[in-house]
């Protein structure tokens, strides 16, 4: 009995899945980059693995940044108290800057991969929406953590990518499509977190939520319906929080 032949593409995919299981996300990135450089366009499974890899790497870095940033603020407030010196704050600030550089490198890396390879081969519809959403997401992260002089530029680049993605989504995807809903959620978060506009965040989020609820189809596949409902729940939770913020601000101005 002759051995089963495994293609190079299957080898890349197998190693990518092993890396995901082992939570070695840098190794997962290497395998998906190899796939991209060798074959160009990615399958849905490969594309999702790419998303998982960068999401986990950046989530860990963003979490680390928040912890160190909080420590820096805490130590800064203690300067002058017994045992606390500016030197401790300087050391913590240096660590925060190192995390910022790592985060910026990762975000710029995925944006470069999108611009150089993936967007040019993307099919119209869900694939194009997915990749431009990713571009908007990672420029959003850059805008959140960048130094003041770079923040506006990254914010504008994020907005441009989200707008292209949303335009394609509105034209080519159903209101209940998980990719369209995920885009609406992240785009609304962009308006809230980066543009500091809960009003625009609520407007975009509520429009997406209402459209989806109006045409939910319980005959859809179980997995698609489950994914859509999960995103709708996240969207509703955010809308409640943002509406509360606007009510507090309005009450404070009266």
Q: Given phi > 0 = left and psi -120 to 50 = alpha, else beta, which region is 23?
A: left
In terms of residue numbers, what domain contains 98? 1-121
How many beta carbons lie within 10 A of that of residue 232, not counting itself? Answer: 20
pLDDT at 249: 81
83 and 180 fall within a common domain: no
Name the percent of the chain lying above pLDDT 90: 77
162 and 178 fall within a common domain: yes
Domains held by the chain: number = 2
Query: What is d(CA 168, CA 164) in angstroms, rounded to the nearest whole number?
Result: 6
pLDDT at 173: 96
The model's pLDDT over 105-147, given as tens digits with 9 standing for 90+, comes to 999 999 999 999 999 999 999 999 999 999 999 999 999 988 8
CATH of the domain at 188: 1.20.190.20
Average pLDDT on 222-247 reads 91
Query: What is d(CA 33, CA 110) in angstroms, rounded to the nearest whole number?
Result: 10
The model's pLDDT over 174-220, given as tens digits with 9 standing for 90+, comes to 999 999 999 999 999 999 999 999 999 999 999 999 999 998 776 56
55 and 181 fall within a common domain: no
133 and 250 fall within a common domain: yes
95 and 168 fall within a common domain: no
Q: Kindly list the distances between the CA atom of residue 139 and the CA atoms of 31, 40, 224, 237, 246, in Å, as whole numbers in the listed order.
A: 23, 23, 28, 24, 26
């Amino acid at each position: 009995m002759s051995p089963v032949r495994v293609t190079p593409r299957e080898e890349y995919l197998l190693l990518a899945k092993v890396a995901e299981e082992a939570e070695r996300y840098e190794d997962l990135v290497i395998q998906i980059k190899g796939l991209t450089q060798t074959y160009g366009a990615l399958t849905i499974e490969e594309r999702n693995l790419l998303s998982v890899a960068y999401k986990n790497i950046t989530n860990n870095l963003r979490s680390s940044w928040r912890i160190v940033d909080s420590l820096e603020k805490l130590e800064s407030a203690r300067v002058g108290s017994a045992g606390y010196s500016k030197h401790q704050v300087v050391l913590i600030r240096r660590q925060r800057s190192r995390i910022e550089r790592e985060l910026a490198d990762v975000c710029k890396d995925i944006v470069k991969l999108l611009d150089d390879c993936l967007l040019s081969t993307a099919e119209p519809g869900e694939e194009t929406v997915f990749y431009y959403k990713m571009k908007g997401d990672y420029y959003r992260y850059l805008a959140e953590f960048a130094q003041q002089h770079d923040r506006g530029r990254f914010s504008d680049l994020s907005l441009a990518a989200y707008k292209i993605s949303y335009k394609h989504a509105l034209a080519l995807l159903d209101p209940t499509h998980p990719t369209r809903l995920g885009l609406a959620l992240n785009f609304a978060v962009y308006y809230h977190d980066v543009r500091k506009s809960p009003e625009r965040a609520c407007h975009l989020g509520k429009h997406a939520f209402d459209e989806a609820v109006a045409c939910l189809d319980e005959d859809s596949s179980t997995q698609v319906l489950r994914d859509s409902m999960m995103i709708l729940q996240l969207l509703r939770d955010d809308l409640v929080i943002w509406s509360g913020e606007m009510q507090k601000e309005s009450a404070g101005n009266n």
